[in-house]
Structure formats: C-alpha cells, structure tokens
Amino acid sequence: MSNAPTPHNAALAGQIAKTVLMPGDPLRAKFIAENYLENVVCFNTVRNMLGYTGTYQGKPVSVMGHGMGIPSIGIYSYELFNFYDVDNIIRIGSAGALQDDLDLKDLVIAMGACTDSNYASQYQLPGTYAPIASYPLIQKAIEAAQKKGIKAAVGNVLSSDMFYNANKGANDAWKSMGVLCIEMEAAALYMNAARAGKNALCILSVSDHIGKGTKLSARERQHGFTNMIEVALGIIY
C-alpha cells in the first residue's frame, strides 16, 4: 500500500474497491461507470487509462482500463493486486473466435489461458505453468449467465502476444486443441493473481470470427457487449 500512487495510477489507498472490472479500452470503462454504477468517482486519468469507483446494487466496485496486451495488463493488474489490495479482477474484453459453433457477441468464460508469451519465465519454474481462472469466479459467472438466460461457452482461450502473426498455421493449430478464441491478456492476469494469492477471471465477447471472416464495428466493440458487462457485474461479491 505504501507504493500508491504509482507512475501509472493516481489513486490513493482506499479509493479502489476490492473487486475491479477491467476492460482493455478505457472508454469502455467510462461507459460502464456512466451507465451501470452509482455514486461514481474517477480515481485515475494517468495516460488516459481511466479508472472509476462506484456502487452496483449497493456494492462497491471499481472499473478501470488495462490497455492492450500482456505487458500492459501485467502492469495494471500487478499494481492493483499488490499495491491497492484488490482481491478480485474480472477482465471483460473482446476476442476472435476459433471454433465453428461460436458466433459474434457470444460469451466465453476463460477457464484457462494458453499463451505464446514468455511472461511466466520471470518465475523461474522447473516446468510449464498452466494459467487458470479462480474457480469461485468461474462458478459465479456461469450462475450469473444462467440466471440471465445467456449462453456462455466455458473453456480454454489463447492469450497471444501477436495481433498480426507471421505463422499462418498458428490459428488452425490452436483450434485443433479445442481453444475457443484468441485474446491478448488473460494469461498474465491469471499469473499475477496466482502469484499474489488473489482471484481473477476473464469474460470475453466474440468481436470477430477468424474462420468465418465476420466482425463487429469499432463502435459495437465499445458499446455492444451488454451481456458480458451484466454477467461480470452479476458475480460481484
């Protein structure tokens, strides 16, 4: 706590709730704060990575952007867990679907996160680490989706360091292993949570289908993920 504020976060101790929703896009964080939370206070504008604390159905919750990619969420989630005493981080973001039975705006609950990143090397483990979500959050997300009648696929995702991959066979290889979709952050979030003894989950909404060639517009990505947001808010405790 003595490390707050940080070079990336202007919040003071106590200004961030125990549970934080983290979209990649800070404008999506602003949208959630303005449309879902009450008694909202902005705690961060550093680098325009907007962060807000408010209440949802009387419960304190914060929402903050995390940027794009493993290095970015690695910084923000590390600071929230270790410097601001946050207990739960729920990443909400977009993903590119791999499996044929997924469609645009479908929900994916990331039980595990494969990765082509070298993020785990810092821990000097004598083997290959498997980043997974916290089961209590998975269970609550499934229950929240079922309560709202929202279909959600639960399984493995890929957290990739590459948006443009020179290996043209990579997507088919991951698809053949049952990976549901590709995003760019969950693995680092799960590793940071595990190392800190905290909880993390990634809930994704399909923004494009890599095999079918379909995709949402930029505006739909920013404002069109209502189901994902409401499921995430439904698991706050």
Active-site positions read: 208
Alpha-carbon Rg for the chain in angstroms: 17
Secondary structure (3-state) at 229: helix
Comparing C-alpha atoms, which of 112, 115, 93, 111 is closest to residue 204?
Answer: 93
For residue 143, count other CB atoms closer than 10 A to its CB. Answer: 13
Residue 26 CA to chain centroid, in angstroms? 13
Supply angle C-alpha 77, 80, 84, rounded to 5: 170
Comparing C-alpha atoms, which of 68, 92, 65, 89 is closest to residue 78?
Answer: 89
